Each structure stands twice: as structure tokens, then as C-alpha cells.
Amino acid sequence: MPDSTRPVTPLPASAHGAWQAQLRLGFALHEGVSRLVERTHSGPLRVQKPLYPEGGAVCHAIIIHPPGGVVGGDQLAVDATVGEGAHALLTSPGAAKWYRANGHVSGQHIVLRAGSGAAIEWLPQESIFFDQACVRLRHEVELAPDASYIGCDIVCLGRSASGEVFSTGSISQQVQIRRGGKLLWWEQGVLAGGGALMASPLGLAGHTVCATLITVGTPVTPAVLAAVREIAVPAGAAFGATHMKSLVVVRLLCGDSEAARRVMLAAWQLLRPAMLGRDAVVPRIWNT
């Protein structure tokens, strides 16, 4: 992969001046160090310098969106490839804020790839969807047959601290994960603000925070899965962990984003060593 920081060809500009941003990253293993060897962008998406709090084998990269929030019509795209044997962890410096639509749909498209023996971790901080936001989210993961993946998604509906509820708007989400060309996970749905699914026991059951952690890699032992299921969760929360061969799905429904972060962190700290053979080293940016 070429070592580059030049801009990529920009997405077409929207008629109402919304941001159209792309970020492409490439990682390769060189002399035992996972290096960021490609870094191209268009629009307000950047990555800070690579960090190595775990030593050279794992590269931590912090994705920055300088505007600080996503407004109606903004389109964000991240494409990251981790080459053979390399390991990259991608995160963000703070919560992503999706503001009201103003008549325009916002979107985010994430594409993650990992080559043979590689590992990629997608661990952004939570996403807050303001009332009247209208958002389409796509998340695609393509793994080599022996590659590994950990991804976390914390969705917060409205701003509970401010008394704002997600009463109008919509969130469309699609997630697919393939390993060795075989589909391991496919999930899609549309959540309408104030709609029946928000209160239904078949949906969010009245909760305003939905957190999901998905891991693909070495199958975990029953003891590890049992430990995940024993993580303490808030009173009234719904929590579960499911193991399907090489894939584990952990999900929490609650009303507190801080609690969701704590539970997902605890699950990651149990599953990462079991699946990737590495202790969980918390990115420093999470503590600022």
C-alpha cells in the first residue's frame, strides 16, 4: 500500500452545502510493527498520528470529525484495510452527534477489511441521535478466513439529561459481516422516532440506549461466555450474549449511556484476550 496523506477525489457536493467526507486508511505489518501506510481524505474526516500504547504489534488510530456533529445531508465514509498479520484499533475522541435533519438525510458508510491473520477493531464512542434526526447507516466487514474483528456500537436516542426524547425522525441501519466470503452476520432495520418499536417488547421496550458488541475470531470457551453473561448491568436493563461458532454478539438495552459504556468495556476486556490473544488496553483518548 502506498504511504500517502493526499486528499482523495471528493464526493459530489450537495446543493445545500452539507459536508461530504471520505477517509481511507491502510495498515501493513512491517518488521513486527503494524504501520499506518495509507491515509487519504476528502472533506472533514482525519486521523491523528498512529499511537502504540500496546507496543508495535497494534496500531491505535483516532478518527477525527472536526465539525463535531453531523447535520442533515452530511455524508461520511470510512474505508479501512488491515493487511496480512497486522492489527489496527480505530476509535474516536468523543460521542458522535447526529442533529435534526432539516429535510435532508444524513449518512455514514463504514467498510472494514482484514487480510490473512490480521485483526481490526472498530471501537468508536457512542452515537447520540437528536430528535428529528434522519440517518442511514451502513457497516460492512470483509474478513479473510483467519482474520479477526471486534466492533462496538452504542446508540443513544435523544438527550435524556436535557429531557429530549427521540419522538420524530428515523434511523436506518444495516450491518453485514463476511469471513472467507461467507456471510456470518446480517442485520438491518429502521427505527422511527416515536414509533411502535421504541416501546414494544419486540423492539427497545422503552429503553433509550442500545449497545452492541460483535466479535469474530477464535471461538470462546463456555467459561468466557459465562463471565460475559455475569457482567453487572443497570436495574431494569435487558442484557444477553450469544455465541455462534466464531462469532459472539453482546447486546444491552438500558437508559444510561455511561452504564452502556461500562458494560461494553467489561465485555471487551473479557472477549479480546480470548479471541485475539491480547489483553484489552484502553485507548488513552477514552480517559480524557
Radius of gyration of the chain (CA): 18
Provide the strand spans (E) within the chain.
20-30, 33-42, 46-47, 59-64, 75-82, 87-91, 96-98, 106-114, 119-123, 127-129, 134-143, 148-157, 170-179, 182-192, 209-216, 238-244, 247-254
Summarised one tens digit per residue, pLDDT across range 97-137 is 999 998 899 999 999 999 999 999 999 999 999 999 999 99
> In this predicted structure, what is the pLDDT of residue 8?
42
Of 153-162, 201-210, 232-241, 267-276, which gets the smallest average pLDDT?
153-162
The string of DSSP codes covering 102-152 is TT--EEEEEEEEE-TT-EEEEE---EEE-TT-EEEEEEEEEE-TT-EEEEE
At residue 45, φ and ψ (nearest 5 deg) are -130, 130
Residue 237, C-beta contacts closer than 8 angstroms, at least 6 positions apart? 207, 252, 253, 254, 255, 259
Q: Mean pLDDT score of the chain, rounded to an integer?
A: 93
> In this predicted structure, what is the pLDDT of residue 18?
80
Summarised one tens digit per residue, pLDDT across range 155-179 is 999 987 777 899 999 999 999 999 9
